[in-house]
Amino acid sequence: MVTVEIRPIRLKDLDDVTDIEQRSFPEPWDSDIFDTFACWDGEVPLAEKNLGLMRVATENDRVVGYVVWMIPNDRAKGHIMNIAVREECRRRGIGSLLLRHVFNELAKVDIPICILEVRTSNDAAKHLYEHVGMSLVDRKENYYDDEDADIYSIRF
């Protein structure tokens, strides 16, 4: 039986992460962002004393998914900024595992809420978020260049 491991991103993961990102999003992040996370062992100081974190999910040392989130300096609410799972590995619980990992990490540092934005048309992602207990709380018009974003939240 293959188990999924969650760990900080490493430099050797960059090709896999970039491939997943390019295939998952119409406006993918620049690979330099992932490179920065890898160079900082998955924890990058951000503006205003916020902290960005990145973890990858691996099977047999192959990246099958990843998540990027922010811990704000005021500790009010965590923010998932990016999450993706390799297309052929979807619907196997890897996305749920990554989300629950973030929720646990936020709870460890006494952050009671986590939010994220998702394209209004991304029904598969919204189903995943609802499956792990997140709720639709708002909408941001024109958040993406071509589409609104639904805002999901969970309190723990």
Catalytic residue list? 117, 129
Closest to 132 measured CA to CA, from 107, 148, 152: 152
Helices (H), 28-153: 31-39, 94-108, 123-131
Half-sphere exposure (Cβ direction) of 83: Cα atoms closer than 13 Å? 25
Q: What are phi and psi of 15, to 5 degrees?
A: -65, -45
Name beta bridge partners: 65: 57, 85
Q: Decide: helix, strand or coil at residue 102.
A: helix
